[in-house]
Copies of this chain bind each other. A is one copy, B any other.
Amino acid sequence: MDKQYVIGIDIGGTNTVIGVVDARGSVLGSTSIKTQVCEKFEDYISEIYKAATALLESLDLTGKIHGIGVGAPNANHYTGNIENAANLRWKGILPLCELLSQKFGIPTSCTNDANAAAIGEMTYGAARGMKNFIMITLGTGVGSGIVANGQVLYGCDGYAGELGHVIVKENNGRKCGCGRSGCLECYCSATGVSRTAREFIETTDIPSILREIHVDEITSKHVYDAAIQGDELSKKIFEFTGEILGKAFANFVAFSAPEAIILFGGLANAGELLLAPVRKAMEENVLFVWKDKVKILASELKDADAAVLGASALGWEADK
């Protein structure tokens, strides 16, 4: 057994990070390329190959890779394809694993970014030792990776864990990018926080430093910065966001009885400003058997290696 390393690839909307990882989870080296640089997906795969090959040579590990694991938006673990990813320039079905395994001659496995984060968290982060937890990624949208019985829950089609698209407002819900209304991600993503800010500014008279910014340009970062300075309206925005998220979590708990729900991504960096109202709303709404039992945690995977580590773990199991 001389192939004791794996490659982990994290495909983001902007950057693609490639890392070489050993069996103990140490990133021996990494490199990155711009995701959107090539017009054709095949050329993008070639760019990944070039960068990875150079990395392997520099580490003197050519020929020693057991498998490749990839985390990417809308990547389907079962099919190995990226399927209709909204934030990538290539549309439709992209045969990600097939092209990579052909190019490298190495077995490749993939999953979506939220599941990769869950695997990373379970292997190296806040979920170490947990067999049942839910990973919630709060970015532009809301993603999720559900781990039950120590395994990522993929469902019958690889799409399980679309918790950002659970409908939380039955009536007069906000319009969602998915074509429906009232989805969790319309409220609890970074974009949702901006929408809430706009709504609160337009429908209340509460003074706020946010009013100095053009209402269409307010980001969740603005709201966070204002809130930690004590801005009343901004704190209310986090309370509103946390309440919706916590109520949704109370229902998620009734599904899979997780030991913890772990928050990851930009908005999760708001820390207790968000976590405190989430916990409060969850505890007020959860079924009695889970009162004071389910932990709400922030991810421990803060550094740039996190996503690569999560993806790389898939490389050990890749078999085609």
Contact = CB atoms under 8 A, between A and B. Distances in A.
A318 interface: no
A4 interface: no
A195 interface: no
A169 B148 CA distance: 27
Interface stretch (A22-30, A89-97, A245-253): A245-253
Interface in A170-199: 170, 178-180
Contact of A162 (B166, B179, B254, B258): B254
Q: Can you tell how many copies of this chain the complex includes?
A: 2
A248 B293 CA distance: 25
Contact of A163 (B158, B255, B285): B255
B156 A258 contact: yes
A154 interface: yes
Interface in A252-281: 252, 254-259
A54 to B, nearest CB: 38
A257 B170 contact: no
A159 B252 contact: no
Interface residues of A, number: 42
B149 A256 contact: no
A134 to B, nearest CB: 10
Given A151-B149, A163-B255, A166-B251, A156 B180 contact: no
A38 interface: no
A257 B166 contact: no
Contacts of A255: 146, 160-161, 163, 166, 252, 255-256
Contact of A254 (B130, B131, B156, B165): B165
Given A161-B255, A166-B251, A257-B159, A288 B179 contact: yes
A130 B170 CA distance: 31
B156 A131 contact: yes
B148 A180 contact: no
A170 B258 CA distance: 23
A256 B156 CA distance: 8
A167 interface: yes
A135 B10 CA distance: 36
A160 B290 CA distance: 10
Interface centre among A156, A157, A165, A166 (most CB of B within 10 A): A156
A167 B293 contact: no
Contacts of A247: 167, 170
B257 A165 contact: no
A108 interface: no
A288 B157 CA distance: 13
A207 interface: no
A73 to B, nearest CB: 14
B250 A159 contact: no
A153 interface: yes
Nearest 5 CB-CB pairs, A to B? A155-B257, A160-B257, A156-B259, A132-B156, A162-B254
Given A148-B149, A166-B251, 12 more contacts: A130-B156, A132-B155, A149-B154, A155-B256, A155-B258, A157-B289, A158-B257, A159-B290, A166-B254, A170-B170, A170-B247, A178-B288
